[in-house]
Structure 1
Amino acid sequence: MLGESVNGPTAGRWPVSAGLRSARTAQGWSQERLVREIEQYAKRHVTDVASTASLRVYVSEWENGKRTISDRYATVLRQLLGVTDAELRSGPPSIASPTADGYDDLLSRIDSAHSVGESMVKAFNDQTELLRTMDRQMGAAGLVDQMTGHLAALEDALNFAVLPSARRPVALALAGASTLAAWQAIDSGAIERAWKHYELAKRAAHDAAAPMYLAHAMGEQAYVLCEAGRPALGLELVRDAQHTLGQAGSARLRAWLYAAEAELCAHAGMPDDCRRALDAAMASIPPGAEDRDPDMASIFLNGGHLARWRGNVLGLLGDADAVSSLYGALEVVDPTFVRAQAGLHTDLAQAHLARAEYDDANTHLRKARLLASRTGSVRQRRRVDLLSERL
């Protein structure tokens, strides 16, 4: 059996209290549920863990700071809870002692960054795309370690790239990866991590002189403000993002920003501005089924996606057209977009509740809850729970 360390700090470990407890409660799990999840993880990955009785003691003592978490258990918990090591543990990692003379190490890292060519940047972007695909199919919870390592490698390459010709392609790759990481953090309920990732994405976009990437990061960051209860401030940020993009950027990104503006207007209680922004989004979206631009790979948006978004926004306004828009989007949604399907069923439940159609709302809430559980989406599960209280 995989046991635990004795009480008290050990080398490379530190006590855990609020970090683990916060991550567990964000998932809506009891301590007993966490024990079961650890055991199921062990069965899936053919690894040993302690007995059920011992795990119950471990979880309690980890959260109360009476027992340290071994690296092997920390790996399991990170995958289950969708958190970073720093978020899981309550103390900072140990810091390596500085060397007497750091010039050799500095020059070595500069030389390594200088060697990052087109093939390496492509490898970075391919890794981001793989993480994006895994995220939309399986959710973000199990990708925290991979994304953390990916961002660290990109930051390291950028920090030690000296000349602009070397910095720009790496900065672009970092901007795209950081924006993805931020949205994954929102989905996992890690709001502070999301905000920091957006700030990193904006700095990288500035470094790359890439207004499209900057505008996209700003637009997504506005959702953090909205969900924190400041939709009017988020709306200002979205409109500033539109100004940043101007008229020279991608039409698909412009449509995305208009749709984001519409949603923020709905939350801010501005129905007329909301409808104008929706009309602008529909007028801007390029025709056809293609949902991505070669210059903006992080945007997935076509007429079908926008119809779902429009239905969501109309539902926020209590508009009677919301249900028909959302059912039209449900017919064409990509089946690999599991989190999007969860959001669509949640939107339909919300629209049916606005019409007092409680049986239909309950049907979609059940489907949304199942899909949100598959992806480990704290954000979608929170929406489902809030709507369920209205049944």
Structure 2
Amino acid sequence: MPAREVTVGDSGATESKLRRARLAAGMTQGEVRAKLTQARRRRGKMPPKEASLKRMYTSWETGAVIPTDWRDELCEVFELPPAALGLVETTPPPALDLPSTFEVVRLDPAVISLLDQQTNFYRLQDRLLGAAIIPQTEAHVRNLEQMLRNALPSGHLPTAAVTLAEAAALAGWQALDAGDLRKAWDLHDIAKSAARQGENPAVLAHVTAQQAYVLLDAGRAADAVELVEYASEPRLLGQVPARLRSWLAAAHAEFLAAAGDRSGAMRRLDQAADVLPAGDNDPELPYLMLNGAHLARWRGNCLARLGEDQAIEDLTAALDGLTTLTSRRAEAGLRVDLALALRKRGDLDESRVQARQAAELAGTTGSARQRARIAELLAA
């Protein structure tokens, strides 16, 4: 008899995460069940009959049941943490006691500072854990939204709004990485509105351009170009730091490359290199790290999208500067780009080597976005 499972009422989270993980891995339900059976035996446990496991797995994917006794096996098969598969119920950190819906509050600079520090803490965690902390960052955004809704007008309101904008943009990027385009778009809309309320042109330009990646992942490269051009208009661009101008130009180049505009992409990449200041980051841009190694990777990404051999040299140079990259997600993306460039050159063996290394990294961060690209490469 199979071990007892926990029945849940809300099926959306489990269904979307577990099914999305399987599709991103490029496996059928039958293939997953076979791997689960092998993993079960390695743990010295007797697997159920195939018909029983088939019924069980279907109930997991539809969200009718959360598999408690199969958690380790599922994490092994998909190379993802439990939270990324919807196998645990995570609760937001208590952090701060914010007001209820029917209360009003005078904004306290010390509280805003603590919330900003909390955003940065999640930002650092994201670089290591990826999708596993999505519930915490989304709860953080909800807390900030509630605080602003209940806040009395004051001179501290713009600072609090910018804090919300940065938190929502982080949560939106995580949703994008997890493959949830609708949620990613909506969170970036929250970020844009908060940035406008905070009257911060730099944050507004950043979150607007970052939202364009949702369009790119949706296969709408031309629309992504249009949105990043709006974010880079002179009325905004003249009010943002040089490192952010460099980032905007590089993002613009990536969207142009995806749209097949080689000359435009190369021109924007040159602009990005021209305005990039020394160092990795700026105190006024806590959400942004950008240096020469990152630009080398970005250039390689663009060239790989355009199918040019030069991409391999640029991406290899970026890989040599790996210590300057900021996250496992960034390294996984770099290796996927390199695998793509190698495949287009015809070097299939080395392409698969890079794709497998990227798959290991993507598994630790729960990146459905990268895993979908990797599955396509390994299937080729």
> TM-score, normalised to structure 2's length?
0.81
Residue of structure 2 aligned with 1:22, choices 16, 22, 25: 16
Residue identity matched to 2:111: M
User: Which residue is equivalent to 1:312?
Assistant: 301
Residue of structure 1 aligned with 2:284, choices 287, 292, 295: 295
Is 2:253 the counterpart of 1:262?
Answer: yes
User: Which residue is equivalent to 2:224?
Assistant: 234
CA–CA separation in structure 2 for the residues paired with 1:160 and 1:34: 51
User: Which residue is equivalent to 1:123?
Assistant: 114
In the TM superposition, 1:95-244 aligns within 5 A as 109-111=103-105, 114=106, 116-140=107-131, 142-243=132-233
User: Which residue is equivalent to 1:324?
Assistant: 313
Specify the SS of the correspondent of 1:27: helix
CA–CA separation in structure 2 for the residues paired with 1:82 and 1:317: 32
Residue of structure 2 aligned with 1:250, choices 220, 241, 263: 241
Alpha-carbon shift at residue 164 of structure 1 (Å): 4.0
CA–CA separation in structure 2 for the residues paired with 1:321 and 1:157: 50
CA–CA separation in structure 1 for the residues paired with 2:36 and 2:116: 37
CA–CA separation in structure 2 for the residues paired with 1:247 and 1:194: 27
- Residues 368, 384 of structure 1: 8 Å contact kept: yes
- Residues 352, 361 of structure 1: 8 Å contact kept: yes
CA–CA separation in structure 2 for the residues paired with 1:72 and 1:167: 48
Alpha-carbon shift at residue 336 of structure 1 (Å): 5.9
Alpha-carbon shift at residue 80 of structure 1 (Å): 2.4
Residue of structure 2 aligned with 1:346, choices 328, 336, 356: 336
Alpha-carbon shift at residue 318 of structure 1 (Å): 2.2
Specify the SS of the correspondent of 1:124: helix
Specify the SS of the correspondent of 1:292: coil
Residue identity matched to 1:130: F
Specify the SS of the correspondent of 2:232: helix
CA–CA separation in structure 1 for the residues paired with 2:265 and 2:178: 28
CA–CA separation in structure 2 for the residues paired with 1:237 and 1:305: 22
* Higher RCO (CA-CA < 8 Å; seq separation 6+): 2
Percent of aligned positions that are identical: 34
Residue identity matched to 1:125: D
Residue of structure 1 aligned with 2:269, choices 278, 284, 303: 278
For the aligned residues, what is the CA RMSD? 3.4
> TM-score, normalised to structure 1's length?
0.79
- Residues 109, 156 of structure 2: 8 Å contact kept: no
- Residues 322, 331 of structure 2: 8 Å contact kept: yes
How many residues in Structure 1 have an aligned counterpart in Structure 2?
Answer: 348
Distance 1:33 1:291, change over 3 A: farther
* Unaligned stretches of 5+ residues in structure 2: 90-98
Alpha-carbon shift at residue 2 of structure 1 (Å): 8.4
Q: Deviations over 1:36-82 (max 9, x none)?
A: 8x99xxx9xxxxxxx975987555335557x56699999x9996253
Distance 1:84 1:236, change over 3 A: farther
Specify the SS of the correspondent of 2:152: coil
User: Which residue is equivalent to 2:92?
Assistant: none
Specify the SS of the correspondent of 1:162: coil
CA–CA separation in structure 2 for the residues paired with 1:318 and 1:105: 54
- Residues 14, 69 of structure 1: 8 Å contact kept: no
- Residues 187, 379 of structure 1: 8 Å contact kept: yes
- Residues 312, 338 of structure 2: 8 Å contact kept: yes
- Residues 15, 68 of structure 1: 8 Å contact kept: no
